[in-house]
Amino acid sequence: MERTDLPPQTRNERLAYIVERCLESPAAYKLFDMLASISDLDKDAKLEYMEMVKDSGAYSDEEISAIERLIVSGAARYFKGVIDQVREEQVACEIEAMLV
């Protein structure tokens, strides 16, 4: 389980690493996109999804707990928002560089 009492700089570095990995990996981006969409659903739909994840047998208990925390807390939506913002800034910089 991740510690939430880490210094802000350490948390920011970890977030930056996650964002970087998601920008490099279409699969990681799709995962956060899917989890963000699920986190927007009503409580019953979230619970139904989590039951399907548990019943699938594809994930360990630790992975299931992490997925559930991302969905229930809204962290998946937050991460996806940050990833999209960084992606937009990168595209804007690339366009600007092409125009110069």
Q: Is 2 inside a domain boundary? A: no
Q: Is 43 inside a domain boundary? A: yes
Mean pLDDT throughout 7-13? 84
- Rounded to two decimals, the pTM is 0.73
Residue-range definition of the domain harbouring residue 31: 8-99
What pLDDT shows up at residue 4?
60
Q: Is 79 inside a domain boundary? A: yes
Q: Is 3 inside a domain boundary? A: no
In the chain, count H helices and then E strands: 5, 0
Q: Is 1 inside a domain boundary? A: no
Q: Is 19 inside a domain boundary? A: yes
Please return the burial class of 34, using the count of CB atoms within 10 Å of its CB with bins 0-12, 13-18 and 19+.
Answer: middle
What pLDDT shows up at residue 1?
45
Total number of domains in the chain? 1
Mean pLDDT throughout 50-72? 94
Mean pLDDT throughout 59-85? 92
Residue 6's SS3 state is coil
